Amino acid sequence: MNLHNRILMTGAAGGLGTAMRGRLKSNCNLLRLSDRLPFGPAADREEVVVADLADAAAVMEMVQGVDAIVHFGGVSVESPFEPILKGNILGAYNLYEAARKQGVKRIIFASSNHVTGFYRQSETIDADNPPRPDGLYGLSKAFGEDLARLYFDRYGIETACVRIGSSFPEPKDRRMLATWISFDDLHRLISACLSTPVLGHTIIFGMSNNAVTWWDNSRARHVGYVPKDSSDVFRDAVYAKTSAPDLSDAAVQFQGGMFVRTGPFNQ
């Protein structure tokens, strides 16, 4: 549904930003795209802004005149703390402050399944389970979710904290049979969050209609997200190209996969 004149999408040069760039044009009249470094010219019905999320003045200008924000920007993998601090923590604060001052009332925040990565794969959790981040990246996304809560409670800015699982053309391994979300389903989810009448502060897990799942989205039914794709059609191929899991491996025991045993604090 096209309910917005101008939507801002940060992180436009990243993997998900690239995948959503064409799709999000159906949700607005004009799509403003932003990333930290130059990434090419604007296409039809696009605007391009180069801005570092750690630069408050640049973010303030970037947000001016938009009706809603889809926030993919920042560091998207486990890394040392300094870039995460600048991109994901300071950057998120700058974005919400700019949204408050510019009067933007709805944000789709790309959170991550790594906010809850230290729950076991034998557990099913929902939005009421407390965060158990599996690294500094997951920790920064937990901060973003709390920041969004503060700005909703104090200023009425609605946010969907979308805990994205694994969004690729198809699942790459057995873990992704549970965490996979297709690009089309991710767009359906973002569209639902942009168009639902009352969003509030909502945590929703970004997953397709997979038979195996660790996440329960019953707390977010008001969003109206109905996935149409499933990892199940890839199951036989994934099993054929991967070996049986080692149940003593922490990456197999916990929902965060490899993130639970990688990171700068292990060096």
**137 catalytic residue (yes or no):** yes
Average pLDDT over residues 99-108: 98
Per-residue pLDDT tens over the stretch 197-237: 999 999 999 999 999 999 999 999 999 999 999 999 999 99
Angstrom distances, CA of residue 255 to CA of 84, 113, 134, 228, 235? 21, 8, 9, 23, 18
Amino acid making up residue 180: W
Average pLDDT over residues 119-148: 98
**What pLDDT score does 3 carry?**
85
Residues with Cβ < 8 Å from 45, sequence gap 6 or more? Answer: 25, 29, 30, 31
- Alpha carbon distance 109, 36 (integer Å): 17
* Residue of 93, 119, 137, 225 marked active site: 137
Average pLDDT over all residues of the chain: 96
| Structural domain containing residue 186 | 4-266
Position 262 confidence tier, pLDDT thresholds 50, 70, 90: confident
CATH number at residue 81: 3.40.50.720
pLDDT > 90? residue 1: no
pLDDT > 80? residue 265: no
pTM of the model: 0.96
Query: How many residues are given for the chain?
Result: 267
Looking at the structure of the chain, the number of domains it has is 1
pLDDT > 60? residue 267: no
- Alpha carbon distance 28, 2 (integer Å): 5
